[in-house]
Homo-oligomer: A and B are copies of this chain.
Amino acid sequence: MGITIKDVAKQAGVAASTVSRVISNNPRISEATKKRVRKAMKDLGYHPNIHARSLANKSTQAIGVVLPSSDKALQNPFFPEVLRGISGIAHEQDYSIYISTGITEEEIYEGVKRMVHGNRVDGVVLLYSRVNDRLHDYLIENNFPFVVIGKPYHQIDAITHIDNDNITAAKTITNYLIDLGHERIGFIGGDRDLVVTLDRMQGYHLALEEANLPVKEEYHIHEEFLKSGGQEAVHKLMSLTEPPTGVVIVDDLMAFGVITMLDEFGLKVPDDISIVSFNNIYLSQLTMPPLTTVDIHIYELGVQATKCLIEKVKNKLEPAKRIIVPYTIIERNSAVDKK
């Protein structure tokens, strides 16, 4: 510390104002001078104060990452994996990452407002999409660069979003159970307020309807995207008089909860009941049984979102995009032929 712009100016033999112009990459300064000043900065270990610079050129070189609810979200392996993708691109492009720490919707909203008005970040990635999310409206009204991982509920053409085709993915994985001979197929979803839950449920319905199988209300269970949620869900489902023989679960972590609870009931997966789920988090291959699941390529969702966001930051006129990351069915051992 202690090195100032004046020290750099002296070392480079130029005026302090010239150093400022080099820092802001002013085109009126010759390349030779820029080179000399930059060498002096490097030799002296001078780092321009990023806050001071931000006020001038309005760039923070940071992007905000907004979680649905920090405490819960951090318990799901989806988060570190999507962050790994975000971090990879951010690192390449010399951006830092700011993380929201809000728990309630209100706190998250206030946190984003602070990021925006406080000039803390150049843009934000929302890691989820809710029905009627006022964050979307807020960011659009303020013309602040943002991208959504998931599908916006409104204004879909105005918002850059990176999603999987969750309807088709859910239809395909439900058909997988149907092809194995299952006719009583349940669905365990997360928060109904999340668009991803709605899309996956719709795909499940489409598959049942096309196969002329009844869509039974009592086969639907909605809980939070968490292990404890899965455990409650299975209590309800398996106490039906005609319980399902196969279940589509919207999240691998919930599926683990279901498997554990079934085990406590003395029911084994896949011998007594088949299970398929979504996300292909890395631990889905480690459990017993390894899960048959839809790989949604979480890392790639993070990569694409960050690339789009940085484009948007660099060019406010960049058009809104819809990017669909392909899914892959990963066949393991949690679902078998209906006996």
Binding site for B on A (CB under 8 A): 1, 47-52, 54-55, 60, 62, 70-71, 74-75, 77, 79-81, 83-84, 87-88, 90-91, 95-103, 107, 111, 113-115, 117-120, 142, 227, 256, 259-260, 282-283, 286-288
Contact = CB atoms under 8 A, between A and B. Distances in A.
Contacts of A88: 71, 101
Given A49-B118, A50-B114, A103 B91 contact: yes
28 contacts: A1-B142, A47-B114, A47-B117, A48-B118, A51-B54, A51-B55, A51-B120, A52-B55, A62-B120, A74-B81, A74-B87, A75-B282, A77-B77, A77-B80, A79-B80, A87-B101, A88-B101, A90-B101, A91-B101, A91-B103, A96-B98, A97-B101, A98-B98, A98-B99, A256-B283, A283-B283, A286-B286, A287-B287
A7 to B, nearest CB: 13
Contacts of A84: 70-71, 74-75
Top-6 shortest CB links A-B: A50-B118, A288-B288, A47-B117, A91-B101, A74-B84, A97-B99
Contacts of A47: 113-114, 117-118
Contact of A50 (B70, B103, B120, B288): B120
A287 B290 CA distance: 9
Nearest to A88: B71
A75 B82 CA distance: 10
